[in-house]
Structure 1
């Protein structure tokens, strides 16, 4: 719910990478309430997570450029975005029909790629639903005439979330959290940033310094996510041995 609220007021390219903070909070809460001990590598991961998130906030755009649902619809008619969506849907269909059955149990990337693609679609649908709600709350009567569009977007969001949860749980049943979390974060964030950049063209208005800074911040958060997840099993093994 809070993610949805955030997507209503800020660009998706800013909100999605900041999801790495959830990994940081989880690590700190586990250390505090579940008697977990953060090793030096995990502490470094926490610091890098804060550093990367700060860099992202400093360099990515903070203001939403699309203000109405109708403007969003005109943007998603961009041929580049349509081609991008066709490729995503083709990959999803291929995973659902073939790769998921034969390779999903061997490679974590298969199910997580499907989750990430559906997640990027969810974000765009959330943006549309958020704009519709915000415009209706602001008294835009034209959105009342298109209330069915909001209902369709809500249905898309619900269906996409159900698909994500289904295949994410499959991946978690087959592979450890230390493998699933960083791979899912990287794939989901990358695809969402690409989709958002195509639809909203946020990167066109950014300076070269901000573009380089945003890319560096993203890579720092990726490294932090891997550090926080890849080495947390070390603490468990130490506890079990003692």
Structure 2
């Protein structure tokens, strides 16, 4: 059958998105490091000195460009093509962190990244087709059904508990706290972004969707959730190794987004047993990769008899000697 011109455009946009987003993690981290030397760190209470750092803004702009490219990719290519390519940002970010930030990427870190990517691809490739949405009101109806309202309520409660109870106690020692807030809010962001993108698509086709209050509510939710994600992602990047933050965030965000989509759009109704089992195996693979990354995140930062991946031997060390 070949590949259509629209799929080629979607592929280019998706790959470009991964490059921009993967690079943004590194550039923002560099900005956070520079701002931390002269001001209050982002992880500290009230630490927003990074807002005065050009490097951080450069990273922020790259992330925005990447997200726009990713958003545009869905207008040309199906999700089954675009979504898995988001995993490229993990590899790109981890490798750049190794060379630019000197955050050593150990062989087990590479294996963890591979497991995360394989698991995510497995889930996406066996995900059901999305429903055809013809109006933002249709999305609003899906969003206000009992199942998704319960999910939204649970997300809001979990985020509140993480922010007010666990971040003050464990934010600087447990990566899952900051990333958990970002991922939970991210799942709501994607559902709202889908609604806004549908509204824009229909508006450009001649059916103005911005005359409905539902469109503006979704827009406000997108803005609020994005600001929350940016704030706590900065704290995570300023506290933990970038090579670990990036894949863990991707895994949690992807998993929760798929869950939210299945609840809201009832994707499970069109799946057979084989697809469901395959998706469960994908989740197990992702969890395995996340665990491996968590347990080995500091292995590359200490002397070891093994040489970390992508690093060269010590200049005084004879590579022929054991």
Fold match (TM-score > 0.5): yes
Please list, as runs of the form range in 1=range in 2, the aligned pairs for 1:208-227 lying within 5 A after superposition.
Answer: 208-223=273-288
Deviation at 1:99, TM superposition (A): 2.1
Deviation at 1:60, TM superposition (A): 1.3
- Structure 2 residue corresponding to 1:188, chosen from 246, 253, 273: 253
- Structure 1 residue corresponding to 2:192, chosen from 125, 129, 149: 125
Deviation at 1:139, TM superposition (A): 1.8
Matched residue pairs, number? Answer: 240
Deviation at 1:196, TM superposition (A): 0.9
Q: TM-score, normalised by structure 1?
A: 0.78
Q: Deviations over 1:50-99 (max 9, x none)?
A: 64455334311244443421111111111121111111111222222232
The answer to which structure, 1 or 2, has the higher relative contact order (CA under 8 A, 6+ apart) is 1
Q: Which residue of 2 aligns with 1:167?
A: 232
Deviation at 1:208, TM superposition (A): 1.1
2:137 touches 2:214 (CA, 8 Å); kept in 1? no
Distance 1:86 1:150 in 2: 21
Change (3 A) 1:134 1:232: farther
Please list, as runs of the form range in 1=range in 2, the aligned pairs for 1:1-242 lying within 5 A after superposition.
Answer: 1-6=68-73, 19-27=86-94, 41=108, 48=115, 51-52=118-119, 54-141=121-208, 143-146=209-212, 148-223=213-288, 230=296, 234=300, 238=307, 239=311, 242=314
**Which range moves more in the overlay, 17-26 or 120-129?**
17-26
Q: Normalized per residue, which structure has more helix?
A: 1
Q: Which has the larger radius of gyration?
A: 2
Change (3 A) 1:104 1:15: farther
Q: TM-score, normalised by structure 2?
A: 0.61
**Which range moves more in the overlay, 185-194 or 212-221?**
212-221
For structure 1, the 5+ residue unaligned runs are none
